[in-house]
Structure 1
């Protein structure tokens, strides 16, 4: 065995014991390529890179950097005007527009990558990093399609990298309070869950832009489009408004589902659903005739997803998603003057059990229980708090960097609240709702071509293990994303 391999096989404690005598009176840093993955000297910081550094990406890399606890060595954005604030904050970081060039040039110097781009590029960027053995933090939803989520989940496990999805509410101690209440049987068995949001808060359900627009000089539009189908640049897509277009975004459900569905998913120990059904709001640009815009997400939708019984919840369960400002009505146990979820009832999740109702706002905040006895439970102050929860976004980013430094098999990694082993199935559930929404207006013509039906408006039966709709094959076109040109998953 070579000297390098012997070094990789010893533990950190052994290494420190054997080198203490030689190190007394001097300061040393052992190169990361000698120590190997998951093994680093205590003086060594993590080298971070980020792709997509405007808006949410700025806070993601800033939180992970943790006031200098880690190094930021490379930053990448297809629009350098949009990324200027982040470039200015980290002037020593090398700047890139193409993440592939960044990984080729700096791969040996990068330990972990943060991906905060529009949804359609999450998978290609994350897979490129994972295949190189880089730890990854990926914004929600983890991917744009179901097969991408399954691919990244398996890839992270195969390459033994530390992963975390950016649904920071997963690290909110209030989630653990909800888990504890349910395990104690406080609300009994749950057969019904409601989840709702005020999204979209961007233009959605509108016609495809047709007016030609000049591409900003700071933006590489070809890189922005990336693996998606080619469309000409429009300010209707970038920045932010991409959420409402299937080519780039995942709509209201993709934007908020991983935040709001997280609570019932975690509390009830859910996995793959068995069926999905939806209805969507219609857009009328002229009298009587609804406008179907397949390129864009609808203005509103309701999605019903069914799950089998779990080890934790001993009953089949139906989850209903509401968006576009729609929300469920008050159950009898919740007083008429109490808001649902958020103080303005705009976002929330509600688990309806046979003994009571458990409710929370976005990120699992402000959990409450309303019991049939008339008692109301709230979270005790300071319950389930950790060393991370006082940090920005509940320490979701710092817990990830600590786990990266500790290694794949560490207790720190096992303690993460949204590794891909958890967030992969959660993302698949969210995106399966979009599969139903996109299938809703698919038409089937009769044999003579004179009449047609809408099979996608029926209930879709789902085989989670095989990632397949079993009763309407046309819907399966949305399970896997086809990539433009030579774009691929690594």
Structure 2
């Protein structure tokens, strides 16, 4: 077999026999890892985004992989010609050495040498995979959105608080970037004065959304579709509009554009302005996928895909510096241009954040990149604001290794669950308001919607038999 030719048999090996479940092990304590040690890392969801994450960790011990389709994993390592990508040679070697499993719960029971787990599955698996790993004393790096529901996030935060030795990280890599950290310093330093309004936008979705559910087609031979469905309480047959990339827009599997990009955009106003959890959320939107020609203003009974575009307005009544309004736009929608915006200033249609203060404005792109100050005297005030936040080695590209260094006690963790869960909850509440189809009033302390009692069911979800958190 050449380096570029990887067959399903080569990848899966004996993994097909691992689909059965073993009883959960008793919670363990995280192994003490010295600064000079290599961390024993496993990955759940080894292709796609998981491969991007793991390519940053090849100097660690990659001991095990769990994936429902190793043919897809193999494709993540090669270019269009079938040759191994130059930036994936080390990853392929690490993957070749690792033991392979179809079922991540089987892997976590079988391999007692794992120290830490990267979780890069579709959204509907995140919380179950993370909780299962943490209960075994394993450090976790979980892709965004951290969880599918509010309750799942609070469950993980409680588990992290009860196990403070575990190092947790959400995969919102912009949180480690120098530009984003400087943005937070400038906002907190009062450069644009008091901020009462924030506008956030993204070009997502870039996947099927606002569409009716397609008819099922035969699945690829390499894909374990039952395991891919996992906790999703639906009996949907396979279609390529779901797996492997397009699942984000389908209600049982993903959390839409807010779940995808909120962690890269909403992160910074939540961080800089410390607004707490929102007290009121309302979402306006285009049609739900699957609507028929008779539109009654309500989502279809059989929710299929999320609306193609939405605008979500968050009110933060308990924000640190007074009431704050943040508005989210997706589906290519953008906020209006403020009167004070210079003609040459361009709002990047791919995504960005605009902070409107009483002494100026600040605008940056996705991940907190390229902050621009707007207004009289802002440059002079910015120059006087000292650096107050630590910088992460490698910046945005060092987010994965920050997790490793934190496990080894070398560096503070960038985006632990104590930070990630409230951010994630804010994002997910936009989807709750979408499904409630009316404004919701939220009591963050109690974790309950107070004005629409029936909408509290959207803070949780049903799980398929055999899967729960």
Matched, 1:467 2:468: no
Matched with 1:402 is 405
Match of 2:205, SS? Answer: coil
Matched with 2:420 is 423
Residue 290 of structure 1 and its aligned partner are, at CA, apart by 7.0
Match of 2:402, SS? Answer: helix
Matched with 2:464 is 484
Say whether the 8 Å CA contact 1:330–1:336 is kept in structure 2.
no
Matched with 1:60 is 53
Residue 287 of structure 1 and its aligned partner are, at CA, apart by 6.3
Say whether the 8 Å CA contact 1:164–1:416 is kept in structure 2.
yes
Correspondences of 1:27-426 after superposition (within 5 Å)? 37=30, 39-41=32-34, 43-65=36-58, 68=59, 70-84=60-74, 85=76, 88-89=92-93, 90-106=95-111, 108-160=112-164, 161-209=166-214, 211-230=215-234, 231-282=236-287, 289=295, 292-293=299-300, 294-311=303-320, 314-340=321-347, 342=348, 345-373=349-377, 388-390=392-394, 393-406=396-409, 412=411, 415-426=412-423
Residue 466 of structure 1 and its aligned partner are, at CA, apart by 1.7
Flag structure 2 segments of 5+ consecutive residues without an equivalent. 1-28, 78-90
Residue 64 of structure 1 and its aligned partner are, at CA, apart by 2.8
Q: 1:155 to 1:338 in 2, by over 3 A?
A: same
Structure 1 CA distance, aligned partners of 2:377 and 2:233?
56
**Which shifted more, 75-84 or 130-139?**
75-84
Structure 1 CA distance, aligned partners of 2:251 and 2:285?
15
Q: 1:41 to 1:475 in 2, by over 3 A?
A: closer
Match of 1:63, SS? Answer: coil
Say whether the 8 Å CA contact 1:51–1:117 is kept in structure 2.
yes
Deviating above 6 A after TM superposition, structure 1's stretches of 4 or more consecutive aligned residues are: 283-288, 376-380, 383-387
Residue 419 of structure 1 and its aligned partner are, at CA, apart by 0.4
- TM-score, with length taken from structure 1: 0.81
Q: 1:423 to 1:286 in 2, by over 3 A?
A: closer
Say whether the 8 Å CA contact 1:52–1:76 is kept in structure 2.
yes
Structure 2 CA distance, aligned partners of 1:477 and 1:175?
35
Say whether the 8 Å CA contact 1:126–1:136 is kept in structure 2.
yes
Higher Cα Rg, which structure = 1
Residue 37 of structure 1 and its aligned partner are, at CA, apart by 3.7
Structure 1 CA distance, aligned partners of 2:336 and 2:219?
45
Match of 2:198, SS? Answer: strand
Say whether the 8 Å CA contact 2:211–2:304 is kept in structure 1.
no
CA RMSD of aligned residues (A): 2.4
Q: 1:104 to 1:336 in 2, by over 3 A?
A: same
- TM-score, with length taken from structure 2: 0.84
Q: 1:374 to 1:181 in 2, by over 3 A?
A: closer
Residue 438 of structure 1 and its aligned partner are, at CA, apart by 1.4
Match of 2:129, SS? Answer: helix
Residue 214 of structure 1 and its aligned partner are, at CA, apart by 0.9
